[in-house]
Amino acid sequence: MRPNQASPAPASRETPGPEAASQSPPASPHRSLLGPVPAPVLILTAIISVQVGAGLAARLFSQVAPGAVTGLRLWSAALVLAVVGGRGLGRAVRAVVRRRAWRDAAVVAGFGVTLAVMNYSIYQSFARIPLGVSVTIEFLGPLGVAVASSRRVLDLLWVALAAGGVVLLAGTGQATAVAELAGAGHGGAVAGLVFALVAAAAWAVYILLSRATGRRFPGTSGLTIAMVIAAVAVTPTGVAAGGAVLLRPAVVLTGIAIGLLSSIVPYSLELETLRRLPARVFGIWMSAEPVTAALVGLVMLGQALSPRQWLAVASVSVACAGAARGAPQSAEPQA
């Protein structure tokens, strides 16, 4: 998750991306295990993991409100990151207090709030419209950042292509079709589209703040602090939405699984992939995510898209890949 830096190499959607760590990558305990695995296999596994986690979350919505599932997912990811990077996290927090680096604190706090908004919004969207449609619209965030960082006329083509895909998804007739697929009223489908757009905007801000956080905090400490802040931010809404249901062991275990699939597993794999591939190539691979989301929605949730919707998904995916391919060299991470 994912997603998204100055180049369009998104860290997935609702997921904490590796940018905060890629500026100063720590020695990875998994490096020897993942070393023999080809980079394309790593990134495809990360993409599938994120979308299977999203599908699992969408299935859980029949028992638990999306806001509560958001809390479960963020707290699971935050606790795992805190345990793994406990010492580094403590040093980073003490350093901020000792240096009175309140600007650094503001940046990481903004990063955490953005993570909370991004995750909350996309789960609200998943609850109302098909998974593939939500993720396709959400990808407008990294696409916008990628194009904004470019000075090529060709990128206007990618913007036009992506805009055409969104028009196909959001047209009046299509909104009705989306509503039927999602089992929601027409108003519910429109709300789902709006939440996806909010998630896209949050993803764009996430890219910028992820990069800023990575420059201010060593290793994964900035990301971990941001994840804890995000989890705290959604806790009141999550508890109010979930209530006593959140105490059920099956719900808690499913929430932990969602956190692992949507955050920890893809984060680890993406971090390793970014050590091997330029950010542009990474961004092109990530463009497969909307199509993967649509396929997961079909298999796990029975959300069959119309040919017109598949064309829209493909249009946005191609636009993201094209923008990623033309990303400036200066945007690539230094591993």
**What are 186-219's pLDDT values in tens digits?**
557 788 889 999 999 998 898 888 888 878 887 7
Q: What is the phi/psi pair of residue 204, to 5°?
A: -60, -45
Q: Which of 335, 334, 333, 251 is nearest to 5 (CA)?
A: 333
Q: What is the pTM for the complete model shown? A: 0.78
Q: Which of 267, 266, 229, 262 is nearest to 89 (CA)?
A: 229
**What are 93-127's pLDDT values in tens digits?**
777 777 777 888 888 899 999 999 999 999 999 99
| pLDDT exceeds 50 at position 293 | yes
Instruction: Count the residues in the chain.
Output: 335
**What are 135-193's pLDDT values in tens digits?**
888 888 887 877 776 667 776 777 777 777 777 766 544 555 555 555 555 557 788 88
Element (H, E) at 102: helix 102-126
Q: What pLDDT is stored for residue 181 in this prediction?
A: 52
Label residue 330 exposed, middle or buried (CB < 10 Å: 0-12, 13-18, 19+): exposed
| pLDDT exceeds 70 at position 7 | no
DSSP assignment string, 9-72: -PPPTTSPPTHHHHTSPPPPTTHHHHTTS-HHHHHHHHHHHHHHHHHHHHHHTTTS-HHHHHHH
| pLDDT exceeds 50 at position 26 | no
Element (H, E) at 229: helix 221-242
